[in-house]
Amino acid sequence: MTLLVLGIALWIGAHLLKRLAPDLRTSMGEKRGRGIIALVIFASLVMMVVGFRAAPHIDVWYPPSFFTHINNLLMLLAVFLFAISESKGALRAKIKHPQLYAVKTWAVAHLLVNGDLASIVLFGGMLFWAVMSVVLINRSGEFVPKEAGPAKRDIITVIATLVAFVVISAIHSWLGYSPFA
């Protein structure tokens, strides 16, 4: 569990460094700083995955089975929100912070269907990070919305969302976590 918590802390620290310690981030230099942050984020991901897989299974609560359906709908929404961030369609100008809202939706979806302590730590930690990021970005006033593109491009986003959802579901099944059971 220690490795999982350290991985989450490292993830949060690396992502919030620019907003909480801008002078430190600037002192690293643009190219060098991006490289260091990328390595730290990669290391935090490895720590979270290894820490999560190694954590003991300690049940905290027992989610009802129908939460699986809610989870799947929320996951479809999370994938769509993430896709919107790179979309060239009209919706991208209407949704502020789509990637962070995707992470929040993903985290809530997984908290609904996983009642063990490691899941609560992982998904709760990621939810905390996404909420903090939105608050800090909104307070800084640095958010600039993207310009809207043609609405017909949103159809491509919907198709990409469905394909990505199927791929993510297949990977979960391959890893032994059936998203539909």
Q: What is the pLDDT of residues 3-30, one digit of tens each?
A: 999 999 999 999 999 888 888 877 888 8
Domain identity same for 61 and 49: no
Domain identity same for 133 and 74: yes
End-of-domain residue from the set 55, 78, 99: 55
Domain identity same for 85 and 20: no
Domain identity same for 44 and 113: no
Domain identity same for 164 and 139: yes
What's residue 61's pLDDT? 95
Domain identity same for 78 and 155: yes
Domain identity same for 49 and 1: yes
Domain identity same for 6 and 72: no
pTM recorded for the entire structure: 0.90
Residue 21: give the domain boundaries: 1-55
Domain identity same for 112 and 181: yes
Total of domains in the chain: 2
Across 44-70, average pLDDT = 96
Domain identity same for 138 and 177: yes
Domain identity same for 138 and 155: yes
What's residue 120's pLDDT? 98
Tell me: the pLDDT tens digits for 124-177?
Answer: 999 999 999 999 989 987 777 778 888 889 999 999 999 999 999 999 889 888
DSSP per-residue string spanning the chain: -HHHHHHHHHHHHHHHHHHH-HHHHHHT-HHHHHHHHHHHHHHHHHHHHHHHHHS---BS----TTHHHHHHHHHHHHHHHHHHTT--SSGGGTSSSHHHHHHHHHHHHHHHH--BHHHHHHHHHHHHHHHHHHHHHHHHT---PPPP--TTHHHHHHHHHHHHHHHHHHHHHHTT--TT-
